[in-house]
């Protein structure tokens, strides 16, 4: 057993282009910058299927390269989720949905003899109605701490202030990492809070670069110009980006040792 474990987290996957680049990236087929090796890979997949939700087909496809999949408020957008979520051992939905919601909000994974706890949480500010997570999470963190000191949280939220406040509170409870998702723009504030908890406000997203956070520009513009309902369409393009980070964690204490964000681009028009 090594002294540390390296966990890679990939920001929200948006559509087919993101799935393609992620598969290639994790299969070693894309030239990447140095020191991006890792032991365990997590990705947020709530937008992985045509920009909204996750089909069973895409879950199976991504299971080949991902160790854990987190999600958010869009996880229910593809209706076959209800047919397979109970039998999807790598998938987590937000823990603060009401009791009785299908799926689970946390899991403990084994990685080369090291146990890694992963929790998915949905923010409350500017989001849909979900259960208050403060007391719920305190209990869940204490439960996982009895099994492993390593706890990684995907905090899927809109408000920056809520993300920062939550991370500082989680650090006081000994959480190893809090990574923000949902807003799809990688922030420049990667840090280690109180010498314990790796944090970034948003990991960014994986998908078409020439887009509005993964969505088609014209569709997005028309919604703003007219204020009328209009179905979002995933952006189409050959220049694709992949945002993520790597957190190194001490296996004995659960404290984060380092956090490094990265952004990679590939232009598929250059392929023969």
- Once rounded to an integer, what is the mean pLDDT over residues 39-57? 97
The answer to whether residue 31 scores a pLDDT higher than 60 is no
Catalytic residue, chosen from 74, 156, 182, 184, is 74
The answer to whether residue 16 scores a pLDDT higher than 80 is yes
Mind listing the pLDDT tens digit for each residue in 227-257? 988 888 899 999 999 999 999 999 999 999 9
User: Above pLDDT 90, what percent of the chain?
Assistant: 89
Class of domain 4-270: alpha beta
Residue 156 among the catalytic residues: no
Ordered by start, the domain boundaries in the chain are: 4-270
* Averaged confidence pLDDT in the chain: 94
The answer to whether residue 97 scores a pLDDT higher than 60 is yes
Mind listing the pLDDT tens digit for each residue in 68-82? 999 999 999 999 999
Mind listing the pLDDT tens digit for each residue in 154-209? 999 999 999 999 999 999 999 999 999 999 999 999 999 999 999 999 999 999 99
DSSP of 144-185? HHTT-S-EEEEEE-S-HHHHHHHHHHHHHTT-SEEEEESS--
């Amino acid at each position: 057993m090594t002294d540390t474990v390296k966990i890679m987290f990939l920001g929200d996957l948006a559509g087919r282009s993101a799935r393609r680049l992620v598969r290639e990236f994790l299969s070693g087929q894309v030239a990447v910058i140095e020191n991006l090796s890792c032991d365990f890979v997590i990705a947020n997949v709530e937008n992985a299927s045509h920009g909204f939700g996750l089909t069973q087909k895409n879950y199976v496809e991504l299971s080949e390269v991902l160790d854990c999949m987190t999600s958010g408020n869009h996880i229910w957008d593809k209706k076959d989720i209800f047919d397979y979520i109970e039998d999807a051992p790598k998938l987590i939905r937000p823990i603060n949905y009401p009791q009785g919601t299908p799926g689970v909000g946390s899991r403990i994974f084994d990685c080369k003899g090291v146990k890694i706890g992963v929790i998915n949480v949905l923010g409350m500010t500017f989001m849909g109605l979900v259960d208050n997570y403060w007391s719920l999470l305190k209990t869940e963190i204490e439960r996982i701490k009895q099994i492993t000191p390593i706890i990684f949280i995907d905090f899927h939220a809109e408000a920056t202030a809520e993300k920062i406040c939550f991370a500082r509170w989680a650090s006081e409870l000994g959480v190893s990492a809090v990574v923000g998702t949902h807003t799809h723009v990688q922030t420049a504030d990667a840090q280690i809070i109180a010498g314990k908890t790796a944090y970034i406000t948003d990991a960014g997203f994986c998908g078409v670069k020439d887009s509005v956070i993964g969505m088609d520009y014209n569709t997005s513009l028309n919604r703003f110009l007219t204020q009328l309902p209009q179905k979002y369409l995933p952006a189409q393009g050959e220049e694709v980006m992949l945002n993520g980070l790597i957190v190194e964690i001490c296996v004995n204490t659960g404290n984060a040792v380092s956090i490094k964000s990265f952004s990679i681009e590939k232009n598929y028009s250059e392929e023969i």
